[in-house]
């Protein structure tokens, strides 16, 4: 196929020349009805914020330009089919899980998944079989899934329907997804990949293996992160053994019937850019990240880690475009460095957790931007360094699952003060966002160690989300649920 084409872009440009009088939605009528918004976003943007119609196809049942865009994306990513997703990678992940498991089915997955995965379990009623990831004690981060742990889980749960893999984690850690796929397929299980942070695996040189190349059945790819498209745009990829028509039925359960053409055309154009120039783009990103990693490691007390973490198993490979920096030797939590960078240096990084900072480097960055970050980190060390004796190191605590997520989410609940919840079963999410990995998920036992973590995260001003109480002074628990349910 001709990857230099962008069918949705071409259709929108043709549509603009047709001078059609709009008696359809959206009500701003090409921007005329909302001049303030048009001044802010620009007429060029507003004139293509349009509704589905014959010349522009329909996202729910595409048959022309959107179908062509899907086919071009599938070829570019090496997939059987690619769906344009306008509900973010959250929607892609949920559709992926919905298409693979149903109520009562078991699904094997690492516990350090994004909230969207567990949300999907709430929707489906599937039962998680968690593999607790091993930890890197120095960095305080969870690693990938050990092949041996996956093999043991498959043997213990032979009726599980699917295995889900993070490829990579937020920190850049990759499991041996190719070997995991072989094990799962041999047991008759589907392989699902959360590739929210792995778009560049399909286009860059010397990158970790992509999910499609590793034999996965479905992969959720967050194009707006490293792929350059607009926020909230994503792809859901189907492997060779998946029926795309079956998958589309699940997508249409939750995705809007009013797909944004701004998001779709951004996917179309960004796919074209990566297909034609992705190797050059991600070579530049890798070089920028390696430069910054080397400079940061010369400052002292920071540790910007890379492929030296690889051990052939729980860190099978590492995404070198991730600029993850451990801050514990500085005596500061990652979230504290994150806040200082934003408040005093006008530098916005992706996230900070209890021990690490992540700066997301992309094709839009320049060497001088990285130099400014390095200089700021050096200055922070000079100004703010302190003892690390009081810092909590570990960002992950193994949970005790006492009920299925759907059962706990829909159970009769009561709200209790934080200190009175020990031993109860949580009925809501608690997470630092980003990265959006739950500290507690519905159905998990609340322990003293988890409460200590939550209090520490609050003390460090992490953004805690998912709870009914915005201040997280109380938690929703299953009423009377202080004994195991499963």
- Mean pLDDT (whole number) for 60-73: 97
Task: Please report the pLDDT score of residue 50 as a whole number.
Answer: 94
Contact 38, 46 (CB under 8 A): yes
Q: What is the pLDDT of residues 38-53, one digit of tens each?
A: 999 999 999 999 999 9
Task: Please report the pLDDT score of residue 389 as a whole number.
Answer: 63
Task: Please report the pLDDT score of residue 363 as a whole number.
Answer: 82
Task: Please report the pLDDT score of residue 344 as a whole number.
Answer: 97
Distance CA 95, CA 81 (A): 14
Q: What is the pLDDT of residues 184-230, one digit of tens each?
A: 999 999 999 999 999 999 999 999 999 999 999 999 999 999 999 99
Task: Please report the pLDDT score of residue 431 as a whole number.
Answer: 85
Q: What is the pLDDT of residues 262-285, one digit of tens each?
A: 999 999 999 999 999 999 999 999
| Triad 410, 412, 415: Cα angle to 5° | 110
For the cut 80, the answer to whether the pLDDT of residue 395 exceeds it is no
Contact 266, 291 (CB under 8 A): no
Task: Please report the pLDDT score of residue 22 as a whole number.
Answer: 86
Query: In Å, how far from its chain's centre is CA 17?
Result: 38
For the cut 60, the answer to whether the pLDDT of residue 483 exceeds it is no
For the cut 90, the answer to whether the pLDDT of residue 137 exceeds it is no
For the cut 50, the answer to whether the pLDDT of residue 89 exceeds it is yes
Contact 22, 30 (CB under 8 A): yes
* CATH code linked to domain 279-384: 3.90.1150.10
pTM for the model: 0.94
Distance CA 415, CA 474 (A): 6
For the cut 70, the answer to whether the pLDDT of residue 475 exceeds it is yes
The distance in angstroms from the start CA to the end CA of the chain is 51
Nearest residue to 74 via CA among 260, 263, 242 = 242
Distance CA 305, CA 326 (A): 8
- Which 3 state secondary structure label does DSSP give 408? helix
Distance CA 58, CA 69 (A): 12
- Mean pLDDT (whole number) for 274-298: 97
Q: What is the pLDDT of residues 361-382, one digit of tens each?
A: 998 899 999 999 999 999 999 9
Distance CA 235, CA 231 (A): 12
Tell me which of 309 and 140 has the higher pLDDT: 309
Least confident of 184-188, 291-295, 353-357, 373-377: 353-357
β partners of residue 417 = 474
Contact 443, 425 (CB under 8 A): yes
Q: What is the percentage of the chain residues whose pLDDT exceeds 70?
A: 98
Task: Please report the pLDDT score of residue 485 as a whole number.
Answer: 43
**pLDDT tier at 288 (50, 70, 90 boundaries)?**
very high
DSSP state of 231: T
Domain 7-275 maps to which CATH number in 3.40.50.150, 3.40.50.720, 3.40.640.10, 3.90.25.10? 3.40.640.10
For the cut 60, the answer to whether the pLDDT of residue 486 exceeds it is no
**pLDDT tier at 481 (50, 70, 90 boundaries)?**
low
Contact 356, 335 (CB under 8 A): no
Report which secondary-structure segment, H or E, holds 464.
strand 464-465
For the cut 70, the answer to whether the pLDDT of residue 5 exceeds it is yes
> Average pLDDT, whole number, for the chain?
93
Distance CA 242, CA 218 (A): 8
Residues of each domain in the chain carrying CATH 3.90.100.10: 405-478
How many CA atoms, within 13 angstroms, populate the side-chain half-sphere of residue 460?
26
Q: What is the pLDDT of residues 151-170, one digit of tens each?
A: 999 999 999 999 999 999 99
- Mean pLDDT (whole number) for 227-254: 96
**pLDDT tier at 392 (50, 70, 90 boundaries)?**
confident
CATH architecture of 405-478: Alpha-Beta Complex (3.90)
Task: Please report the pLDDT score of residue 3 as a whole number.
Answer: 98
Contact 338, 351 (CB under 8 A): yes
**Phi and psi for 430 in degrees, rounded to 5?**
-135, 125
Distance CA 13, CA 265 (A): 11
For the cut 80, the answer to whether the pLDDT of residue 482 exceeds it is no
Which whole-number Å values give the CA distances from 380 to 64, 361, 368, 386, 463, in the listed order? 54, 20, 18, 11, 22
> What DSSP string describes 284-314?
HHHHHHHHHHHHHHTTSS-EE--GGG--SST
Residues of each domain in the chain carrying CATH 3.90.1150.10: 279-384
Task: Report the chain's C-alpha Rg in angstroms.
Answer: 23
- Mean pLDDT (whole number) for 462-472: 90
DSSP strand pairing (234-238 vs 218-221): antiparallel
Task: Please report the pLDDT score of residue 205 as a whole number.
Answer: 95
Residues of each domain in the chain carrying CATH 3.40.640.10: 7-275
- Which 3 state secondary structure label does DSSP give 421? coil
Distance CA 183, CA 181 (A): 5
> In terms of C-beta distances under 8 Å and separation of at least 24 residues, what long-range contacts does 206-209 make, across chains too?
206/286, 207/282, 207/319, 208/167, 208/168, 208/174, 208/316, 208/317, 208/318, 208/319, 209/174, 209/177, 209/178, 209/317
Task: Please report the pLDDT score of residue 387 as a whole number.
Answer: 86
> What DSSP string describes 240-288?
TTS-HHHHHHHHHHHS-SS--HHHHHHHHHHHHHHHHHHHHHHHHHHHH
Contact 267, 233 (CB under 8 A): yes
């Amino acid at each position: 196929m001709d990857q230099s084409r962008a069918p949705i872009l071409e259709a929108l440009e043709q549509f603009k020349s047709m001078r059609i009088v709009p008696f359809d939605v959206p009500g701003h009528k090409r921007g005329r009805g909302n001049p303030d918004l048009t001044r802010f976003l620009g007429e060029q943007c507003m004139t293509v914020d349009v509704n589905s119609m014959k010349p522009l196809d329909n996202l729910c049942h595409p048959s022309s330009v959107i179908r062509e865009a899907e086919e071009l994306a599938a070829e570019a990513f090496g997939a059987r089919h690619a769906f344009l997703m306008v509900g973010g990678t959250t929607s892609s992940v949920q559709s992926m899980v919905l298409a693979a498991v149903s109520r009562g089915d078991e699904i094997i997955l690492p516990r350090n998944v994004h909230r969207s995965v567990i949300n999907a379990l709430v929707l489906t009623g599937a039962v998680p079989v968690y593999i607790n990831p091993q930890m890197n004690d120095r960095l305080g981060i969870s690693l990938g899934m050990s092949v041996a742990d996956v093999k043991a889980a498959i043997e213990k749960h032979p009726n599980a329907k699917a295995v889900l893999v993070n490829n990579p984690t937020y920190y850049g850690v990759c499991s041996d997804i190719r070997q995991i796929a072989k094990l799962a397929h041999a047991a008759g299980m589907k392989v699902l990949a959360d590739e929210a942070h792995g778009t560049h695996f399909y286009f860059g040189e010397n990158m970790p293996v992509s999910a499609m190349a590793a034999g996965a059945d479905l992969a959720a790819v967050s194009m707006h992160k490293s792929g350059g498209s607009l926020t909230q745009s994503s792809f859901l990829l189907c492997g060779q053994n998946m029926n795309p028509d079956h998958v589309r039925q699940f997508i249409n359960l939750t995705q809007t019937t009013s797909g944004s053409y701004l998001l779709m055309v951004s996917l179309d154009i960004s796919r074209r850019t990566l297909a034609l120039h992705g190797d050059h783009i991600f070579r530049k990103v890798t070089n920028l990240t390696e430069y910054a990693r080397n400079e940061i490691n010369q400052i002292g007390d920071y540790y910007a880690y890379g492929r030296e973490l690889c051990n052939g198993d729980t860190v099978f490979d590492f995404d070198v475009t991730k600029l993850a920096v451990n801050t514990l030797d500085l005596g500061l939590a990652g979230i504290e460095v994150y806040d200082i960078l934003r408040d005093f240096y006008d530098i916005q990084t992706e996230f900070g957790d209890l021990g690490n900072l992540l700066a997301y480097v992309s094709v839009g960055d320049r060497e001088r931007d990285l130099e400014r970050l390095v200089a700021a980190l050096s200055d922070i060390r000079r100004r703010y360094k302190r003892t690390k004796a009081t810092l909590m190191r570990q960002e992950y605590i193994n949970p005790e699952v006492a009920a299925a997520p759907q059962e706990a989410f829909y159970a009769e609940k009561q709200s209790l003060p934080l200190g009175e919840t020990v031993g109860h079963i949580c009925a809501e999410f608690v997470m630092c966002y980003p990265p959006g990995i739950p500290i507690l998920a519905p159905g998990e036992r609340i322990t003293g160690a988890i409460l200590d973590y939550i209090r520490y995260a609050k003390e460090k001003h992490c953004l805690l989300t998912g709870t009914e109480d915005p201040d997280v002074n109380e938690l929703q628990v299953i009423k009377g649920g202080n004994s195991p349910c499963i």
